[in-house]
């Protein structure tokens, strides 16, 4: 589903590359944590999957396509197949919860009838039943991140990319969001999540890819212990 072949990324003016000959292979339906200290290259790797950045050398494949060879007009279609969530939620502050989620369906050309049906279903799925008319700033951080998850998931993307989605959340809300992501993963969506919450990663039995200064230093399936969410 996602494949990096000897991918390096050097930003202009930086002494060392953000990613250094990174090769990884992520299968359909996997849940993968990308870990490593701040500055190790996690966000850069995720941006390359979305073609928000391009590799300096090497190849990035998403869903069988080498995405850096995609024509520019095909990039929006790629991004529609990949949901994203971020540490800072990135909700539209002047739209209600339901409007924020509906917006993702409007830009992909769904009918109002489909939107009216799917938005409440998805809000229920993420545990925000009845909160569709609230404004984002009337919700807790954990609830705002649930809105972002609903928005990312409503078009049923093949892949969900999450960059430190629990970075602003307390432990209780972190567990809630992880349960939700696990449920989404079980429905078949491939998930790649960057985090530096080592304790949380240890509690989930998932594959862990660790970066250090842009190098791959660990790629393992955790097994045998820990709580299964
Ligand atoms: P992480 O997400 O693990 O903290 P990043 O991928 O954000 O790591 O950053 C990796 C390295 O690349 C860091 O040294 C960072 O300063 C640098 N970097 C990231 N984005 C840019 C950019 N847009 N321009 C220049 N340097 C960048
Ligand atoms: Mg980052």
Which atom of ligand 1 lies closest to the CA of 214?
10
Q: Where are the beta strands (DSSP E) in the chain?
A: 2-9, 19-26, 31-35, 57-62, 65-66, 82-86, 159-163, 190-194, 207-212, 215-221
**DSSP-derived pairing of the beta strands 82-86 and 65-66:** unpaired
The phi and psi torsions of 82 (rounded to 5 degrees) equal -125, 115
Determine how many CB atoms are found less than 10 A away from the CB of residue 117.
12
Nearest atom of ligand 1 to the alpha carbon of 43: 2
Question: Can you tell me the distance from the alpha carbon of 62 to that of 154, in angstroms, rounded to the nearest whole number?
Answer: 20
Ligand nearest to the CA of 17: 1
Q: What tokens does 1 get?
A: 């589903």
Q: How far is the CA of 69 from the centre of ligand 2 (A)?
A: 25
pLDDT digits (tens, 9 = 90+) for 70-120: 999 999 889 889 999 999 999 999 999 999 999 999 988 999 999 999 999
Rounded Cα gap, residues 180 and 167, in angstroms: 16
Question: What confidence score (pLDDT) does residue 221 get?
Answer: 82
Residue of 10, 34, 38, 39 to test ligand 1 pocket, by largest number of atoms within 8 Å of CB: 39
Domain with CATH 3.40.50.300 in the chain: 1-81+158-229
Copy the structure tokens of residue 203. Answer: 């509690």
Residue nearest to atom 27 of ligand 1 (CA): 11
Q: Which residue in 12, 7, 67 sits closest to 41, CA to CA?
A: 7
> Quick check: 169 and 181 in contact, CB under 8 A?
no
Contact 141, 168 (CB under 8 A): yes
- Within 6 Å (CB) of ligand 1, which residues are found? 11, 14, 18, 36, 38-44
Residues 6 or more apart whose Cβ sits within 8 Å of residue 225 = 205
pLDDT at 223: 55
Ligand 1 atom 22 nearest Cα: 11
Give the pLDDT of residue 226.
41
Q: Which atom of ligand 1 is nearest to the CA of 53?
A: 23
Residue 228 has a pLDDT of 43
pTM of the model: 0.94
Q: What is the CA radius of gyration of the chain?
A: 18
Q: For residue 99, which of 146, 145, 147, 141 has the smallest C-alpha distance?
A: 147
Per DSSP, 226 falls in state S
Q: Could you say which residues of the chain have pLDDT below 70?
A: 222-229
Q: Residue 201 in contact with residue 33, Cβ under 8 Å?
A: yes
Q: Which mutation among 14, 46, 197 tests ligand 1's pocket best, with the greatest number of atoms within 8 A of CB?
A: 14
- Cα of 213 from ligand 1 centre, angstroms: 10
* Spatial separation of the C-alpha atoms in residues 175 and 105, rounded to whole Å: 27
CATH code that applies to domain 1-81+158-229 = 3.40.50.300
Given ligand 1 and candidates 18, 50, 213, 217, which is best to mutate, with the most ligand atoms within 8 Å of its CB?
A: 18
* CB within 8 Å of 92: residues ≥ 6 apart: 99, 100, 103, 136
Structure-token pair, residue 133: 């008319």
Dig out the tokens for 191 from the structure: 């998930």
Taking Cα atoms as reference points, which of 179, 174, 164 lies closest to residue 37? 164
């Amino acid at each position: 589903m996602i494949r990096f072949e000897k991918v390096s990324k050097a930003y202009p003016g930086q002494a060392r590359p953000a990613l250094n000959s990174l090769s990884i292979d992520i299968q359909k339906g996997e849940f993968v944590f990308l870990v490593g200290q701040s500055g190790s290259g996690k966000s850069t790797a995720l941006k390359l999957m979305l073609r928000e950045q391009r590799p300096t050398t090497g190849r990035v494949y998403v869903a069988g396509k080498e995405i850096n060879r995609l024509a520019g007009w095909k990039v929006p279609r790629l991004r529609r197949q990949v949901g994203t969530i971020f540490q800072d939620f990135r909700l539209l502050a002047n739209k209600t919860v339901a409007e924020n989620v509906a917006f993702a369906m409007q830009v992909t050309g769904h009918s109002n009838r489909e939107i009216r049906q799917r938005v409440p279903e998805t809000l229920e799925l993420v545990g925000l039943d009845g909160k569709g008319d609230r404004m984002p700033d009337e919700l807790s951080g954990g609830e705002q991140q649930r809105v972002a998850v609903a928005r990312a998931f409503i078009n049923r993307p093949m892949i969900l990319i999450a960059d430190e989605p629990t970075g602003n959340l307390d432990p209780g809300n972190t567990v809630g969001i992880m349960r939700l992501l696990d449920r989404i993963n079980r429905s078949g969506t491939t998930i790649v999540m960057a985090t530096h919450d080592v304790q949380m990663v240890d509690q989930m039995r998932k594959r862990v890819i660790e970066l250090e200064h842009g190098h791959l230093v660990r790629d393992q399936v955790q097994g045998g212990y820990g709580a299964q969410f």
